A and B are shown apart, each in its own frame.
Chain A
Amino acid sequence: MTATGRQGETVHVTRKSRAFARRWLPLCSLVFLVALLTGCQLDTAQSTTVIAGTHNAEVWNSYRVIFWLAGLVFVVVMLLTLWISIRFRERPGVSAQQIHGNTKLEVLWTLIPVAIVVVMAVPTITSIQREAQGPPADAIKVIAIGHQWWFEFQYPDLKINTANELHIPVNKPIAFEIRSNDVIHSFWVPQLAGKIDMMPGHVNSIWFAGTVARPEPYLGQCAELCGLSHANMRFRVFVDTPEDFNSWAQKVKSATPAPSDSLARQGQEVFQRSACIGCHTIQGTTAAGIVGPNLTLLGQRTTIASGTIPNTADNLFRWINNSAAIKPGSLMPPMGQSAGGALSDDEIRAVSAYLLSLK
């Protein structure tokens, strides 16, 4: 029962499989690298690498340093591993050097990670410090509240309450108060800012200014698992010119719906006598429910169902008829008779026309 085993008794690796590895490893890595470089566009619609807000700019102050450091460490360790693997593979007549350690080397490679960590820590800590100073005094206050599965936005100073599509003026700091109505959600608009969780029982805060005004929205998405339709909990942020923002705010504040065509008028009448008003508010009417999203000026929004589908008559019809078919688990009960609700198809079409007329 001694250790009779000597080196080399049971070498199963054949020359062939080695040659195979030598031939294929570089090729595979090359294909992979080429695919990587061509398939990796960075300026995409939800990309964190597009900097259009002050918060994300602050993030990238640290990220730029950390990204390149990480890249450097990656390349060095991979090349080192590859080189050692090739250089010291077993060869006839060459035996291993019996080294147990080397204090100088070990001190050196303790100091390397220490240096890397220090270089990472400096921008990180300065960034945290700057953020801790809070928003500038002239910031506009917005309260953002997460609901299963949509976003509510209140502008307490402007007396505006809206949902799922947020408007902010360019280059103006916005101080957000972040809350949740039920479970944990997370408020995230990658191009404008990093995320901040919406916690029940807590009030969080974040501030930033959008720095690039444009007609297309910035995409936001809930970033904490919040139940069945977490994937469908999105929102949009419009960074407007100051004039556009003011006219939008004026319009919302003074909205008094007066539908002109008869279908929309009929829709208003259906809306007012149905379950809709128990949950939804439309400013300037008696509808004052607070369970669901505020529908004031819904006709102006580009999407419905918290940023998931375009705001069209068809989609409105499908949504009102049976919202859970679009957004699994939706807490809005089905309204259409075909889905167990009280409204006929014609009534739903009228309501859709009414909502679209709210501009």
Chain B
Amino acid sequence: MATVAGTLAHQANTGVWSWITTVDHKRIGVLYGVTAFTFFCWGGVQALIIRTQLAVPYGNVVDAGTYNGLFTMHALTMIFLAIMPLGASFFNFLTPLMIGARDVAFPRLNALSYWTFLAGGLVLSSSFLFGQPPRGGWFNYAPLSSTQYAPDLGIDFYVVGLLTLGVSSLMAALNFAVTILNLRAPGLTMMRLPVFIWMTLIISFLLILALPPLTVALIQLLFDRQFGTHFFNAAEGGDPILWQHLFWVFGHPEVYILILPAMGIVSEVLPVFSRKPLFGYPAIVFSGIAIAFLGWAVWSHHMFTTGMGAVPRTIFAANTMIIGIPTGIKIFNWLGTMYGGSIRFNVSMSYAVSFIALFTIGGISGVMHASPPVDTQHQDTYFVVAHLHYVLVGGAMTGIFSGIYYWFPKMTGRFLDEKLGMVQFWLWFIGVNMTFFPMHYLGLIGMPRRIYTYDPGLNFEFWNMFETIGSFVLAASVLAFLWNFFTTMRKEPTAPNNPWGAPTLEWATTSPPPEHDFDVIPTVRARDPLWYDRDHGIEAPQPTGEHIHLPPPSYYPILIATGILLLTVAPLTHLAMTVLAVPIIVYGIWGWALEPTE
């Protein structure tokens, strides 16, 4: 944390305590980013062990139980502790800046989201320390999750971990929905919002609606395991398929929660480096809304092989294929943005363009298994693994890297090294394709997913070895990024306000921005405000010396998060822990409510 604190050293308050009590959206964004990237590296290490195990037939790097724990934790780490909070990192840092506000609507709630996320992440990850990771896959199908088939604490870690992370996401979602709807600068109408902000708004609503079904399912599972209910126990009149419906009603919107930040990022980056406004802004916004809306009507495409009848299979297939249409529109609009431009291929832009290509591959395979007959051959094979990694690694992570190189000067005042960045980009691009493209082929020739071992003679050998090599190329890329990050952080901050000549409001303030974001709240006159002002010779307003009110730091967020952490630990140790946890939470809320805001 010390390095990070250094990045904002020009600000008056430094030191660990200032980070613990901060309610500044920028610092919380940095905390999210650093924590999530750390988890990303940890999830990557798990992936490398998995790939090493699979490099040759009969691999014996790890045993079956460890392997099942690894792929389960790898998915949970990457989805809930890396990609989601990396998205959160961007929208924490950027939302107020991009809408011309001085902070989010509820700054302390924002801090509480972060600390709760950290608590959930630590609890979930600590399952490895106790040798009892969850082993049921990230979707954790019943009844393999019951105490009968999973007697150790693994599934309990899963339940309390995800419950806690859900609380965190829900608070963040409410906060950002309110912020975007209420705190926009004068003139910033909805149809002038940057696409990244639109995506943040959509994600917020998706989260608000998607987390309840997951929470219900988790609580039912918690009750099944702790109190002997039978929600998912077929022998006692429960039904394991209930879990699948509840999980995927959350799970499919969740995949859009994962990809929309990246779509927002590239929608900002592509116009800037093509030197051209976004092509078809309304179409991009409305297709984003359409995707989010249709995303609620497709969850059973994860369940085509569970024995659903012909009618639901037809309907869910049709809906899933229809989602391909707005997705296609987006891709064409991004290409349209580049068309006729004057494209500068720096690192950020290279990532953004490769996002289009890689995400398209994932979209195509998605539409392929939208067909239920085809899906009977895809489901639970490496073809699905290829699909989900193209959208999550080729899509979400590639977009996130584009965003990191793009906004790094704004966040820190420093430029990441472009040469090293280019090396990192090519390692990444080659690594993604080496690791994940052959998985399509392996799925096609019948390699199931989630197997810790396979026989020779099925033609699985060559491409598995190839993929393993590819995964180390990816690892090299991440190391190159870390190197770039740490060396850059030791340089002097030199970035001007708007180094890329970008049109959105965050570039109107200093790099990094002052604690209060803007000396004067900007006025927006068009969709690309800074380009409009530039072209119409409008000067920035002069500071008026008005009093700027900022919320004071508060330790109640971390206090309440500590209470939540103890609550989380109760099902893992003894339910009596709640007696300790509840008073802390109640006291925290009490103090929070009465805390003076000056």
Contacts and interface: CB of A to CB of B under 8 A. Distances in A.
Interface centre among B137, B305, B447 (most CB of A within 10 A): B305
A154 interface: no
Interface in B306-329: 306-307, 309-310, 313-314, 317-318, 321-322, 324-325, 327-329
B136 A225 contact: yes
B589 to A, nearest CB: 39
Contacts of A42: 444-445
Given A1-B519, A4-B498, A5-B500, A12 B419 contact: yes
Interface string A30-49: 00100110011110111111
A228 B234 contact: no
A18 B240 contact: no
Contacts of B466: 35, 39
B444 A77 contact: no
B433 interface: yes
Interface string B426-459: 1000100100010001001111101111110111
A66 B141 contact: no
A70 B359 CA distance: 14
A159 interface: no
A315 B283 CA distance: 64
A84 interface: yes
A182 B277 CA distance: 58
B445 A44 contact: yes
A195 B374 contact: no
Contacts of A41: 445, 459
A197 interface: yes
B458 A124 contact: no
Interface string A124-168: 110111011000000000000000100000000000000000000
Contact of A100 (B279, B331, B365, B426): B279
A232 B453 CA distance: 8
Nearest to B535: A98
B499 A201 contact: no
A120 interface: yes
Interface stretch (B96-104, B123-131, B251-259, B333-341): B333-341
Given A13-B418, A85-B343, A184 B376 contact: no
A341 interface: no
A292 interface: no
Interface residues of A, number: 117
Contacts of B143: 182-184, 200
Contacts of B353: 81, 85
B450 A225 contact: yes
A106 B329 contact: yes
A256 interface: no
A114 B141 contact: no
Contacts of A222: 448
A220 to B, nearest CB: 10
Nearest to B273: A90
Contact of B346 (A13, A32, A114, A229): A13
Among the interface residues A4, A5, A85, which one has the most CB atoms of the partner chain B within 10 A? Answer: A5
Contacts of A17: 419, 422
B213 interface: no
Interface in A257-284: none
Contacts of B341: 88, 96-97
Contacts of A228: 64-65, 68, 135
B345 interface: yes
Given A5-B501, A226-B144, A98 B377 contact: no
A85 B234 CA distance: 56
A280 to B, nearest CB: 23
Given A5-B502, A231-B64, A178 B307 contact: yes
B227 interface: no
A12 B346 contact: yes
Interface string B262-289: 0000000000001111011111000000
Nearest to A126: B373
Contacts of A306: none
A100 B329 contact: no
Nearest to B67: A231
Given A88-B343, A128-B313, A231-B451, A2 B508 contact: yes
B516 to A, nearest CB: 12
B331 A128 contact: no
Interface string A1-22: 1111111111111100110010
A7 B501 contact: yes
B497 A5 contact: yes
B212 interface: no
Given A74-B361, A106-B283, A223-B448, A196 B376 contact: yes
B415 interface: yes
Given A10-B499, A116-B324, A121-B317, A84 B380 contact: no
Contact of B459 (A44, A113, A201): A44
Contacts of B375: 194
Given A12-B415, A183-B143, A223 B507 contact: no
Interface in A75-131: 77-78, 80-81, 84-85, 88-91, 94-102, 105-106, 109-110, 112-114, 116-117, 120-121, 123-125, 127-129, 131
B274 A96 contact: yes
A299 interface: no
Interface stretch (A57-65, A246-254, A332-340, A350-358): A57-65
Contact of A44 (B277, B364, B446, B452): B446
Interface string B185-203: 0000000000000000000
A36 B466 CA distance: 11
B381 A223 contact: yes
Contact of B356 (A49, A81, A121, A196): A81
Given A13-B346, A100-B277, A81 B335 contact: yes
A13 B345 contact: yes
Given A190-B446, A227-B144, A329-B64, A98 B276 contact: yes
A18 B345 contact: yes
A200 B340 contact: no
B274 A106 contact: no
Contacts of B498: 3-5
A188 B449 CA distance: 13
B338 A85 contact: yes
B454 A231 contact: yes
Contact of A3 (B342, B457, B530): B530
A250 to B, nearest CB: 33
Interface string A298-313: 0000000000100000
Nearest to B140: A225
A148 B340 CA distance: 60
B144 A105 contact: no
A39 B462 contact: yes
Contacts of B459: 41, 44-45, 47
A5 B144 contact: no
15 contacts: A5-B500, A5-B507, A10-B499, A32-B433, A41-B459, A63-B373, A66-B374, A77-B331, A88-B338, A121-B317, A132-B309, A184-B144, A201-B240, A328-B63, A328-B65
Cβ-closest 8 pairs across A and B: A194-B376, A201-B234, A5-B498, A12-B418, A46-B446, A231-B451, A113-B328, A204-B307
Given A84-B338, A182-B143, 11 more contacts: A3-B533, A8-B501, A12-B415, A13-B418, A49-B445, A100-B277, A112-B328, A194-B375, A227-B135, A231-B448, A231-B450
Interface of B: 63-65, 68, 135-137, 141, 143-144, 149, 234-235, 238-241, 274-277, 279-283, 305-307, 309-310, 313-314, 317-318, 321-322, 324-325, 327-329, 331-333, 335-336, 338-346, 353, 356-357, 360-361, 364-365, 367-368, 370-377, 379-381, 415, 417-419, 422, 426, 430, 433, 437, 441, 444-448, 450-455, 457-459, 462-463, 466, 496-502, 507-510, 518-519, 530, 533-534, 539-540
